[in-house]
Chain A
């Protein structure tokens, strides 16, 4: 332990703690731009410089360690002048056209420039413009990049994908796709973590909201929207609402106010996924001669892309069940269209997802089986949903609560936890237990798979069957797990994989709060929704039961296979 003084206040911290961390423990604010704790502590933006007595240098607080007896000053004329100059320099290379930026109002650079009262730039503005294909899921705007290297570090260290890299040296240093490749050739999983970890608007997801508005304006279209579980845990953040205020019912009201004809719940499809995937798992587990184990979940398109890119030999181990998003689309344009008695081509099916890779997934040919255009016409992120609400000038708190529409609006507690790491596994186990034993286990019997650890493993018993499970989140962790599986170092029967750290709660399409990782918080909220649900087992979803009765017969039936399963091997990257 070392004791030091920061701005006249003493603090004792463990050796090796950075000055920044110590200062924050004292509640002191030191500005940062490039800093990402443990991931990008590179001292590049020089915003966090502080004065240390007895040292002639200004020191970058983000990667300088506390030392015994150190006396630090975070707010001196020299420090302020240095920070301000660096902000001015960054702005001289930044396309500060804030009104045309998705991050306006949520931009760390904008905030700091305002805080430091930068009104007139003493330097000419010279942002670097480079072309980019705006049809891509990920859009990079060089003119806004401040070379903080966060995207590079996150992609390298957390996701282990190495899509981004530094380009050039000297005055021409920049960030770009590695090896001068085009993004589509760089093996990107489209997880979107680079976007949520960008302090400015240099990275964003493709904005599809205007096309959604076009559909809403079209009188022939029946606009159907499904909302993924993790969205309900995050949408209110952008309006400054608490979970108590940003209820699911209020979210439904906002969507109604935007103008959707039917507001449905992806939870319905998540329960359906469990019926199919759970049955498939029991089938695989009880027929070891026919199938290779472990079986992997397949609902995360970032993970599916990863598997196809990095472990193609394992793709046959992935469940053939489509993701909830796609199951929903297939059901909406068949069963639901039939119920309405309308031409399924009239249905415009939108999904709101915490995800960027879902934009890719809904365009994959092999997941479109309704025969009426794309099963899911468009997928937008939580952030785009918020932008649509803003465009419509909706004040959520002025609205009451509404229910999801019938029949695709019913979801159980098992479905809502899909939105966090371990949730799919827990939901699947709840129903698999029932399928194997004919009775329900306690709804919390499988809660051992919860938690934010990157790689969890638990063994459960159902009747005389022992199921070895693993739950892994973050592509870097997935890579480590796959290595161990391939080397025979670990043995599992069922593995849940989510590309984003903490699962969909921390998805690449979620609201951005610079410096905060809210995946865990959002997951807790989803668990509370599960806890308070009347139904907590997917197989008890009455609407799903009805769907089977009226249309699909039973899980893994011929029709279910046609609509709800896919050939992942055939997916184009």
Chain B
């Protein structure tokens, strides 16, 4: 027997480790709509299985909590049981000797706080409030695009039908094929086995292979008139569906071209104009009256629009910007990312060749600005962020892309002031070093590291610290701002206290994703249609191939490949390559067809119309 040994896990430990990984995957995709009480119980029993068993509160306490939950779940629980559950969980939290028991107790307390009504419902009716979500991707997609449907169509090579099917819910298939944040993939049931299906990749495949797919026919004219203020994704989505419903739609756009943030925010290397133009052209081809270079309050008053139209959709986006709120930020050489990127949209880029650029912020806009700066020939580009890289709100792939292209991340440095020369021109950004502190809303709040301030030399500072909404001229119609500076609209999109005025997209939600904007446009279209006294149905009746029962084995996910870094930084051409035929074919075959198997066979398999 040797005195020390090198540890090698035995087969049992290997399986346990694998089980944990499995569990992690399952937790990652957390199907929506499960009974939270039952999940709490499962979680508790998992915690109990992890207990060493030394201490009373953990060993016995967790088991007793689980027994109480069992009673509540069986419909035999009482109000007293919930009280016991709460006091016991508190005592376990207070007395457990380590994190295994303590955190379990804390979780139960949070459950009781978070879904007390669910516990109560089990007591009073013996039932749960939850409803299981049948098709996770469709449910997670804000526009509820029929994802299994179009994947099945792509798999059979029916690309034009796939595009038609997508357009039943989302008139921006080309755009979304490239830049959607794909929340659909988050809960993909495939994650339980290996990895989510590359849904966005398959959408891009459909679009690229289909070529031009004309818009469907509009319903007979209703004679009702709707004005859309703002020709971005949400405005054009509403315009598209309202026109298909037979209403007469006019869109007013302030900029030279349509597209909103898709044109004036998203860089061309992510979304080339031809993709955006294809979607916009199809949308406009339905017969929308389109005006660019029209500013409300200047070229036409809002009250005039109200008079001329039966309903109005305000979709002005969030094209103003927030300030860093540090001394010196009005100096020459400090711009907002919104301004910087807008100039790109009009093909009038700033000349920053050879300059040292700092981008402040950790979101996707910061990555867009920094990667654009690289392409414009900046000598060096630094992203300064006050938190850690993993706390950035930008997508992981965007951050990696930026780093790969030569962007330098400087994290845990909070901007303190802008340093200028005698002419008032920027020379450096002064920053305060930070350390990650206590958690709040899932991220540690940075705090002062108690280290000296540092100067990062630069010629240009691009502030990407948030967008704002400018809607002063709508105040005359009684439209007010919320606490967050957004335009106040109800869930239906209706502006409370008005008649027939709707608002949505970034201007109502605050800056969000394109698919959220599309959701808002679709919602507004449906509710404006109802407001006008119609119950129009959007249904192009695209047939979807049957699902086939096949054993699906764990198979790797094929990702899109980016063009080589050294090559792509030289131009603004699209950096992402489409999936190859072989890759697309395999991705299609990975779809589990939740619309047909599992709960989908019973409920919510396919919503054909809305």
Contact = CB atoms under 8 A, between A and B. Distances in A.
Interface of A: 16, 40-44, 52, 55-57, 59-60, 63-65, 67, 128, 130, 149, 153, 166-172, 174, 176, 180
Given A55-B549, A55-B551, A59-B549, A172 B73 contact: yes
Interface string B73-114: 111000000000000000000000000000000000000000
Contacts of A170: 34-35, 38-39
B11 interface: no
A64 B34 CA distance: 27
Contact of A63 (B39, B128, B130, B601): B601
14 contacts: A52-B549, A57-B550, A57-B551, A59-B549, A64-B549, A130-B75, A149-B602, A153-B602, A166-B132, A166-B603, A169-B130, A174-B127, A176-B127, A180-B121
Contacts of A171: 38, 73
Interface string B152-176: 0000000000000000000000000
Contacts, number: 66
Contact of B602 (A44, A59, A168): A44
Nearest to B129: A180
A259 B272 CA distance: 88
A60 B603 CA distance: 17
Contacts of A59: 549
B69 to A, nearest CB: 11
A166 B33 CA distance: 12
B548 interface: yes
Given A44-B602, A167-B128, A168-B128, A65 B548 contact: yes
Interface string B114-149: 000000010001111011100000000000000000
B93 to A, nearest CB: 26
A176 B128 CA distance: 11
B596 interface: yes
A149 B599 CA distance: 11
B125 to A, nearest CB: 4
A288 to B, nearest CB: 28
A176 B122 CA distance: 13
Given A55-B550, A59-B549, A63-B596, A168 B130 contact: yes
A63 B550 CA distance: 13
A303 B33 CA distance: 35
Contacts of B601: 41-44, 63
Interface in B516-568: 546, 548-551
Given A55-B550, A59-B549, A166-B132, 13 more contacts: A42-B601, A42-B602, A44-B601, A57-B550, A57-B551, A65-B546, A149-B602, A153-B602, A167-B127, A168-B38, A169-B34, A174-B127, A180-B127
Contacts of A166: 131-132, 602-603
Nearest to B42: A170
A64 B597 CA distance: 10
A126 to B, nearest CB: 10
B212 to A, nearest CB: 30
Contacts of A44: 601-602
Interface string B587-610: 000000000110001110000000
A67 B34 CA distance: 35
A16 B548 CA distance: 11
A176 B33 CA distance: 17
A67 B548 contact: yes
B127 A56 contact: no
Interface of B: 33-35, 38-39, 73-75, 121, 125-128, 130-132, 546, 548-551, 596-597, 601-603
Contacts of B602: 40, 42, 44, 149, 153, 166
A67 B550 CA distance: 12
Nearest first, the 3 A-B pairs at minimum CB distance are A56-B551, A168-B128, A42-B602
Nearest to A60: B549
Nearest to A180: B125
B35 to A, nearest CB: 5
A169 B549 contact: no
Contacts of A55: 549-551
Nearest to B125: A180
A168 B551 contact: no
Contact of B128 (A65, A130, A169): A169
B132 A169 contact: yes
Nearest to B38: A170
Nearest to B602: A42
A149 B132 CA distance: 14
B550 A172 contact: no
A420 B327 CA distance: 86
A167 B596 CA distance: 21
Contacts of B548: 64-65, 67
B119 to A, nearest CB: 13
Contacts of A64: 548-549
A544 to B, nearest CB: 47
A177 B546 CA distance: 32
Contacts of B39: 170
B372 to A, nearest CB: 46
Nearest to A126: B74
A172 B128 contact: yes
A14 to B, nearest CB: 12
B339 to A, nearest CB: 49
A64 B593 CA distance: 13
Contacts of B603: 166
Contacts of A60: 549
Max chain B C-beta neighbours (<10 A), residue from A52, A60, A166: A166
B123 to A, nearest CB: 12
Nearest to A19: B549
A44 B34 CA distance: 18
A49 to B, nearest CB: 10
Contacts of B73: 171-172
Contact of A169 (B38, B546, B596): B38
A153 B128 CA distance: 20
Nearest to B73: A172
A52 B33 CA distance: 33
Nearest to B600: A42
A172 B549 contact: no
Nearest to A18: B546
B546 A16 contact: yes
A149 B602 CA distance: 8
A172 B546 contact: no
A373 B440 CA distance: 71
B118 to A, nearest CB: 10
Contacts of A65: 546, 548
A89 to B, nearest CB: 17
Contacts of B128: 167-169, 172
Max chain A C-beta neighbours (<10 A), residue from B127, B130, B548: B127
Contacts of B549: 52, 55, 57, 59-60, 64
Contacts of B550: 55, 57
Given A44-B602, A180-B125, A169 B33 contact: yes
A59 B257 CA distance: 54
A303 to B, nearest CB: 25
A440 B283 CA distance: 63
Contacts of A149: 602
A145 to B, nearest CB: 13
A130 B130 CA distance: 19
Nearest to A61: B549
A176 B75 CA distance: 14
Nearest to B553: A56
A235 B259 CA distance: 70
A125 to B, nearest CB: 15
Contacts of A169: 33-35, 38, 128, 130-132
Nearest to A130: B126
A172 B38 contact: yes
A15 to B, nearest CB: 8
B602 to A, nearest CB: 4
Contacts of B546: 16, 65
A57 to B, nearest CB: 5
A128 to B, nearest CB: 8
